[in-house]
Amino acid sequence: MTARIDACVAVDISDDDIFDAMKDVSGYLDITPGDFKEVYLKAYRHAVTRLTQSVKAADVMTRQVVSVGEATPLQEVARLMADRKISGVPVVDDAGKVLGIISEKDFLAVMGPGSADTFMCVVAQCLLGKGCLAAPYRAKNARDIMTSPAVTVTEGTPIMDVASLFSEKKINRAPVVDKKGVMIGIVSRADALRWSLVPEDR
Amino acid sequence: MSYFAKMKGTTKSPPGVSLTEVALSWLGSFIGITVVAILQSLFFDGTDLVLMIGSFGASAVLVYGAVKSPLAQPRNLLGGHVLSALIGVGAFTIFQSQPVLAAAAAVATAIAVMHATKTLHPPGGATALIAVIGGEKVHSLGFLYAVVPAGVGAAVLLVVALLFNNIPKGRRYPEFWY
């Protein structure tokens, strides 16, 4: 957290910039360039904190979440992900509590020769004519390959913390849960990125 | 930073001001001090009261020469002089038999009180000191010293500062009132 803000704060403002700016202001300014720089950098840090903490997961999450149950057959899970063009889907119980999450990575992890976990490994296997690598999983269900427990966030998690979590855990999405663990939305890398590119009208 | 390294300083002096600014500061303080001096000669000469004290020269530096400074704002100008005057008279009253202690206590306590009340105004330190070292005439005023000269004199400087500093395009006063 602190490290990231420090990175943002590395504003390249020189004492000369400040001195020149002070010359642009008419009248005598009762502050040294050094003190001004200190105040400026601290103010910048406060602004970064305010902006990064003010946007919460709930502000950017997708509320209509496609989800599956733990007994949903993998055929159906794969079909759903393909139809909806999504790369991951949360697995929830009847009450809406998040049990786990299935992503493309989970499929890849079980399809290759042991350690295969990239798409190109699977392509290579197919090109070698070894048949459908997913075949052994035809009869399996969501619970058999899902990552559990899923990494989740709450409505109030600042979006910058969500982004850090994505990067730290190497994941691309996280279900947003309420206090009872019931899923109320999902936030993806795209959601986090969209916020950082366009700070929206706030 | 080590103790001696701190004495080298870390930054440079702020930029100097334009000739216009120099002229405005000269004119403003000239008018301000003139008004106080005229009032002194019209209404106070020959009485037991005084209006002009040395610390107003210092106040003029701030309210006509460093208009934007937090130290030069009305709250500081009036509050600094009045509170410091009270402290100075108090210190003299309590410690009059020990002039060294009275002087030091007056200035130090004035600074502390100005800090605590967000009225820091450097000339206030002089106002407190003058209450102790200002001689018989000042001593005989007692706590009236906080009203005349401290309060009234500062108010005159303030009125002139308000009238004068808002005429030039590049100046405005105050930054805040309280």
Q: Is the pLDDT of residue A116 over 60?
A: no
Output B171 or A126, whichever has higher pLDDT: B171
Structure token digits, residue A71? 């007994």
Interface test with A, best of B10, B19, B20, B64 (most A CBs within 10 A): B10
The bridge status of strand A88-92 relative to strand A183-188 is: unpaired
* Chain B CB contacts of A22 below 8 Å: 14-15
pLDDT at A112: 63
Regarding an ipTM greater than 0.85, the answer is no
In the prediction, which pLDDT does A111 show? 73
* pLDDT tens-digit series, residues A126-182: 777 766 666 777 788 888 888 888 899 999 998 888 988 998 988 889 999 998 889
The alpha-carbon gap from B155 to the nearest alpha carbon of chain A, in Å, equals 23
CA B161 to chain centre: 13
User: Cα–Cα distance between B157 and B97 in angstroms, integer?
Assistant: 34
Dihedral sign computed on CA atoms, order A41, A46, A49, A51? negative
Q: Is the peptide bond before A199 cis (omega within 30 degrees of 0)?
A: no
Domain boundaries, chain A: 2-54, 58-102+143-197
Distance CA(A118)–CA(A124), nearest Å, equals 10
Element (H, E) at B161: helix B152-165
B21 neighbourhood in chain A, CB within 8 Å: 26-28
Q: Which two tokens stand for residue B165?
A: 């500093």
Distance between A39 CA and the closest CA of chain B, angstroms: 14
Contacts of A184 (CB under 8 A, 6+ apart): A58, A61, A63, A155, A176, A177, A178
* Residue A91 predicted with pLDDT over 90: yes
Q: What is the pLDDT of residue A117?
A: 63
CATH of the domain spanning A58-102+143-197 = 3.10.580.10
Give CA–CA dist A97/A90, Å, rounded.
10
pLDDT value, residue B167: 96
What would the pLDDT profile of A16-30 be if each residue is shown by its tens digit?
Answer: 888 998 888 888 888
Highest mean pLDDT among A122-126, A138-142, A194-198, B43-47: B43-47
Q: How far apart are CA A62 and CA A67, in angstroms?
A: 12
Q: List Cβ<8 Å contacts ≥24 apart for A85-94.
A: A87/A172, A87/A173, A88/A172, A88/A173, A90/A65, A90/A150, A90/A175, A90/A183, A90/A186, A91/A67, A91/A142, A91/A143, A91/A146, A91/A148, A91/A150, A92/A67, A92/A68, A92/A183, A93/A69, A94/A69
User: Number of Cβ pairs closer than 8 Å across A and B?
Assistant: 49
Question: What pairs with residue A188 in β-bridges?
Answer: A173
| DSSP secondary structure string for all residues of B1-58 | --HHHHTT-SS-PPPPPPHHHHHHHHHHHHHHHHHHHHHIIIIITTSS-----THHHH
Q: Tell me how far apart the alpha carbons of residues A166 and A181 are, in angstroms, rounded to a whole number.
A: 19
Q: Per-residue pLDDT tens for A41-84? A: 999 988 888 877 888 888 889 888 889 998 999 889 989 999 99
The verdict on a CB contact (< 8 Å) between B71 and A33 is no
Interface test with chain B among A13, A20, A25, A30, by most B beta carbons within 10 Å: A30
Minimum distance, in Å, between the CA of residue B143 and any CA atom of chain A: 33
Closest residue on chain B to A20 (Cα): B15
Domain spans of chain B? 19-165
- B174: preceding bond cis by omega (within 30 degrees): yes
